[in-house]
Amino acid sequence: MLDSLFTPDTLLYLFDMMGVIACAIAGTLLAQHKGFDISGCILVSMANAIGGGTLRDMALDRHPLFWMTDLNYVIVITITSLILQVFFHLYHKIDTAVKLFDAVGLAAFSVIGFKVALAQNASPMIAIMMGVWTAIIGGLLRDIICNEIPLVLQREIYITASVAGALVYLLLDYLGIYTGLNDFIMLGVIFIIRVLALRFDWHLPSIRLVD
């Protein structure tokens, strides 16, 4: 019975909704902190939650766009944003909260983008790229709208975490190891790397030429 409930398509949908909720929360938190009104917060949460997937589907020529045929995405984002706006006062550490929910979205959307691209018979390299796009574009749009320097451009362990998770998945596939949990393993690797980077303040080095 569990096998019938947790089919590959069902798992992908659950990952997608997990990422949508996390990114809607992250987007609303930042927008509220910036003083946006109700509709502004919803707009930012929409951009954060479905921006990356929209670009991914356009690049892969997948039409119609996923959120146009499944209104659950728009409904879930809107409800999540509205609820969070009511209880915004409970989040005292805005930066920590945004980055934590952003980490959940990063992991979930990386898996979604990667798997969707593989299902479209894309090469592993393109699949990794689609995973990255799905994971980062929404946050990029969110930060630009809120007049913030995007996290992905701040030497953060962000894209690296997404790529690392995809490489672990591909390695397991290459070795012929399929536990039924490979998607969860990829998601876990990405989330753990991102959280450890936040906890221990890991950053990518910058290359500067010496005068």
pLDDT in tens, 12-44: 888 889 899 999 998 998 999 899 999 999 999
Residue 60, pLDDT above cutoff 70: yes
- Within-domain flag for 28: yes
- Short-list 108, 97, 98, 101, CA closest to 162: 108
d(CA 179, CA 162): 21
More confident residue, 89 or 79: 79
- Within-domain flag for 126: yes
Residue type present at position 156:
E
- Within-domain flag for 139: yes
**What is the torsion angle, in degrees rounded to the nearest 10, for the CA atoms of residue 56, residue 58, residue 61 and residue 66?**
70
99-149 pLDDT, tens digit each: 888 889 999 999 999 999 999 999 999 999 999 999 999 999 999 999 998
- Within-domain flag for 122: yes
Interval 79-96 mean pLDDT: 81
66-77 pLDDT, tens digit each: 999 999 999 999
State the pLDDT at residue 1.
45
Residue 157, pLDDT above cutoff 60: yes
State the pLDDT at residue 126.
96
Residue 165, pLDDT above cutoff 90: yes
- Within-domain flag for 163: no
Report the domain count for the chain: 1
What is each CA distance from 79 to 42, 72, 85, 150, in whole angstroms? Answer: 9, 10, 10, 25
- Within-domain flag for 23: yes
State the pLDDT at residue 5.
53
Structural domain that includes position 32: 2-154
- Within-domain flag for 46: yes
78-87 pLDDT, tens digit each: 999 999 998 8
- Within-domain flag for 180: no
Q: pTM of the predicted model, to two decimals?
A: 0.87
Question: Sorting pLDDT into bands at 50, 70 and 90, what band is 6?
Answer: low
